[in-house]
Chain A
Amino acid sequence: MADLKVTIAGVPFQNPLIAASGTFGFGREYAEFYPLSTLGGISCKGITLAERPGNPPPRVTETPGGMLNAVGLQNPGVDHFIKEDLPWLQKQGTVVIANIAGNTPEDYCRMAEKLSYTAVDMVELNISCPNVKQGGVQFGTSCAGVEDITAQVRRFCKKPLMVKLSPNVSDIGEIAAAAESAGADAISMINTLTGMRIDIRTRRPVLRNNTGGLSGPALLPIAVRMVWQAAQRVKIPIVGMGGISKWEDAVELLLAGASALQIGTVFFTDPYAPVKILDGLNQYLDRSGFSSVSDLTGRVCPW
């Protein structure tokens, strides 16, 4: 058995698989299937300073090789999270990552400050939600925006800070470098790509929000490419995500440069996916003679 442990920004994870924000709620629903300690960590549903009702339905639809969502950051607010969800989560034997989204830099800073004095292990800065006009993506699509918000939050955040990048940008390497230079301890990437589907009978967009975030297997090659490009620009660890549905996909993202991984949409196809991915990853490491999963990070041999 190879060593699956990884350390990201000083935080030890028992394995590199982390549940991606927005796909796993606050963990309770999936604790029906297996102990949450099966996962290296959980990135919780994106939270905002105040409760948010979310977008009107329909919020989700299937696409070739994936799905679109426009949930719109429905969440009970940071205080509710700290009081009602965190006490239960911290007992589950897995790393707890709080994903925060906001409308203004002050929102982000206040949340980071509040979370600094709680049991969360890490803060993930969501500046890439495509489904809310003021859900942070306005900060995430330019280098100046990323640098500014990261630097401001950094001052208030006593926890390791991971910045979640949007793929809806022209140069992902520049954006990653901006996050690093502003003090991010890690980056996670990629969030969803903006997409749209139209019902040809009604001529209405399928989603009530018109557009949504594309996730699922269709994203994998884009994520691999972007992680690879970012890995060449930054020294901080990259938590790779985007379309992982099987262990082979996980290996690809690690080889491209990821130190840990998030999985999300695959939970909807198969709630047991993390168990299967970890099993496959373990066997691959043994077969290939790697003693640790960390040995895979960035080991692609480009032409």
Chain B
Amino acid sequence: MKYDTGSCRILEKQQLTVDIYDVTVDAGKLALLAKPGQFVHVLVPGHTLRRPISICGIDRAANTLRLVFQVRGEGTAQLAALNCGDSIDLLAPLGRGFSLGNTGRKVLFVGGGIGVPPLLEAAKPFGENAAVVLGFRSREAVILKEDFEQNGNRVQIATDDGSLGHHGLVTDCMEALEAEHFAFEEVFACGPAPMLKAVIRAAERLGVPCQVSMEQRMACGVGACLGCAVKLRREDGGEYYGHVCKDGPVFRARDIVWED
């Protein structure tokens, strides 16, 4: 079995920012199947489509999954209103996560906003070999900084308004790491499209491979309905539509064709 549905009890719930929530659920056997970078598809009672949420943490000993999500509309608002003891129906774990490779290598994680959570579990095994650059609008929007520090990662924050950390872009921090001769061998990124494009360009300039986690409006979550299309490049240069739920959400940056 690769994935299944399950009723999962909320064990912990915390509000991290004005619109971001952090819940830990008892996911039973689903937690044992989960890998960093995969996602869960959450049923919202009364709604036709589930809501895809990235997996932020996996505790195989406790059979729990940690989900950090942003309230975007009615469905996620309904999820945010649930409390400890309530149950949510998950279809999980879904998609292809990060290929971590040798965790003794120096690597770089770059996250922006609500793109930060899927990186946390992936960065864990790298410890101090991972530099983590996280970008947010402002100090108030910062999430998971301490969690990455607990991983033993080297964490840097960039904010648009300079209210915490570097005043500017995550790619400025990439350049600073380069100047400090932190020779990372691979980049793992998730965040808004403009950030991803800039990170991919920077990685290309350095000749370093890059994996990015993508999002798209989604229906089935398992690769049957072909809803969550993303344009990809074949080895032969031809283009086709792959799907975030099954071929991703994590893709090799060089395979992605940016359409806008």
On whether the beta carbons of B48 and A65 are closer than 8 Å, the reply is: yes
Nearest CB to that of B73 among chain A residues? A62
Q: A74-B241, A268-B219, A268-B225 are in contact. List 7 more A-B contacts (CB 8 A).
A: A32-B3, A59-B229, A62-B75, A71-B229, A217-B48, A265-B48, A271-B222
Give the chain B neighbours of A269 by CB distance below 8 A. Answer: 43, 47-50
Binding site for A on B (CB under 8 A): 1-5, 43, 47-50, 75, 91, 216-231, 239-241, 246, 259
Q: Chain A: interface secondary structure? A: loop
- Near B by CB (< 8 A), chain A positions 53-105 give 53-63, 65-67, 69, 71, 74
Give the chain B neighbours of A56 by CB distance below 8 A. Answer: 229, 231, 241, 259
On whether the beta carbons of B259 and A25 are closer than 8 Å, the reply is: no
14 A-B pairs whose Cβ atoms sit less than 8 Å apart in the complex: A33-B5, A53-B241, A54-B229, A54-B241, A57-B228, A59-B226, A66-B48, A74-B241, A217-B48, A267-B220, A268-B48, A269-B48, A270-B5, A272-B5
On whether the beta carbons of A268 and B2 are closer than 8 Å, the reply is: no
- Near B by CB (< 8 A), chain A positions 163-219 give 206, 216-217
Tell me how far the C-beta of A114 lies from the nearest C-beta in chain B, rounded to whole angstroms.
22
On whether the beta carbons of A25 and B223 are closer than 8 Å, the reply is: yes
Total contacts A to B, CB within 8 angstroms? 100
Binding site for B on A (CB under 8 A): 22-25, 29-30, 32-33, 45, 53-63, 65-67, 69, 71, 74, 206, 216-217, 265, 267-272
On whether the beta carbons of B1 and A32 are closer than 8 Å, the reply is: yes
On whether the beta carbons of A54 and B226 are closer than 8 Å, the reply is: yes
Complex Cα gap A60–B217 (Å):
6
Given contacts A57-B228, A59-B228, contact A67 B219 (CB under 8 A): yes
Complex Cα gap A55–B228 (Å):
11
Nearest CB to that of A265 among chain B residues? B48
Given contacts A29-B220, A269-B49, contact A69 B225 (CB under 8 A): yes
On whether the beta carbons of B241 and A58 are closer than 8 Å, the reply is: no
Complex Cα gap A135–B240 (Å):
19
Name the residue among B1, B5, B225 with the largest chain A CB count within 10 angstroms: B225
